[in-house]
Amino acid sequence: MRLVDYPSIIKKAWASFDSSVQIQVITDISAKVSTNHVFKVTFEDGEHIIAKLSYFGKYEHFVEDHRIIHALANNLLYPFENVLAKSLVLDGQVYTYRHKDGFVDAWVVFYNPIRSQFKLPRRLEDDHIRKLGAQVARFHKACSRVSTVLPKSSKTLRSDVWDLLDMLETDSGQFEHRMHVDELRRQCNLFLENRQKLVAKTVETMPVFVDWNIGNFSVTENLELYSRWDYDWFRISYRVMDFYFFSRVVSNAGDRTVFSYVIGPLMEDRFLMFLQEYHRVYPLTENEIRFLPEAYRFFILNYVIKYGRYFFHRTYATKLQREAYQTYFPSIDTFDADKILKVLGIT
């Protein structure tokens, strides 16, 4: 896909949407850390929109995801009505464009530009952490309230792990993970067993954003959540799936783009401070806290093992996968759920 002319595909996508408005320039504004490519599309009159181009996964999932995002963006009420970018619509549906030409199969969606305000510092102070915890809780609560009007999602945590187990039965999967097939099966089965035991009856339709960092959302002057502007990762899942990434955001080391998936931030006192404020606004259950290490296990299985070579540079993906077996999986047993439960006063 590196030789593909992305601007040409975007021009075709826009011409199919509205050929009466001419594009002047297309600027790549991608974060360069995922398989999505994001562009600013400026028209001859100076107005602009955002285009996202993707080619990873299935087109049907791309369409499904963006219909869910659009429904959420249009149903969130004050003070979160500006948090998500709204997709452009044609004939009553989110407009998506599929470009198929030989080996190229790429998909485009357009967004109205999101407004942004202030960024948080790379390393948060205590008052920032408390405010962020409360704000995320309010946002999750708002998402939960509108979850019943969202289109159904075909992707779940179970389906993702089942896909990995299926892959391990193929010749390519056996070859790629030849030194660790049995260990991966064990880790997958542990996740499925603990998911069933802890959160199987929890509604799995709340939208969460599992790739937050300080660089992709903005706040008001009073540190209230205002917008998320990277036009990128989204899924339907348990709300605790957000917590590992927020533990990194509030960690003592501060937010960073290059990272290892160490479990340490989930047990830092700073993250407990975040959880205390969250819990005051939108109370957590004992099982959700005990599921936190399983959320961590899922990220390692899905985003380091299964998809690491797609999301990261090959050398870095290999490094992360090596660390998974040496450090990440063994560290799951060090997670102290009882300590968190005691701090939160959950019995």
Residue 39, SS3? Answer: strand
Fold topology of 126-344: Aminoglycoside 3'-phosphotransferase; Chain: A, domain 2 (3.90.1200)
* pLDDT score, position 203: 63
Q: Is 291 exposed, middle or buried (0-12, 13-18, 19+ CB in 10 A)?
A: buried
pTM: 0.90
Q: What is the pLDDT of residue 300?
A: 94
Half-sphere exposure in the Cβ direction for 258 (13 Å, CA): 4
Residue 2 has pLDDT above 60, yes or no: no
* The dihedral sign for the CA sequence 17, 18, 19, 25: negative
Locate CATH 3.30.200.20 in the chain. 6-111
Residue 194 confidence (pLDDT): 96
Which CATH homologous superfamily contains domain 6-111? Phosphorylase Kinase; domain 1 (3.30.200.20)
All CATH 3.90.1200.10 domain ranges of the chain, comma separated, are: 126-344
Beta bridge partners of 34: none
- pLDDT tens digit string along 184-206? 999 999 999 999 999 987 766 66
Q: Hey, is 111 helix, strand or coil?
A: strand
The per-residue pLDDT for 114 is: 85
- For residue 327, pLDDT beyond 60: yes
Read off the pLDDT of residues 214-273 as tens digits, 9 standing for 90 and up. Answer: 667 888 988 898 888 666 556 667 889 889 888 988 998 876 656 678 999 999 999 999
Residue 1's pLDDT band (cuts 50, 70, 90): very low
Range 163-173 average pLDDT: 93
Could you report the per-residue pLDDT of 26-41, keeping only the tens digit for each? 999 886 656 678 899 9
Determine the residue type at 118: F
Residue in 45, 12, 55, 6 with CA at minimum distance from that of residue 27: 6
* pLDDT-above-90 percentage for the chain: 54
Average pLDDT of the chain is 88
State residue 52 phi and psi, 5-degree precision: -115, 130
- Would you give the DSSP letter of residue 76? P
pLDDT of 83 reads 86
Q: Would you say residue 211 has pLDDT above 80?
A: no
What would the pLDDT profile of 96-139 be if each residue is shown by its tens digit? 999 998 888 999 999 998 888 988 888 899 999 999 999 999 99
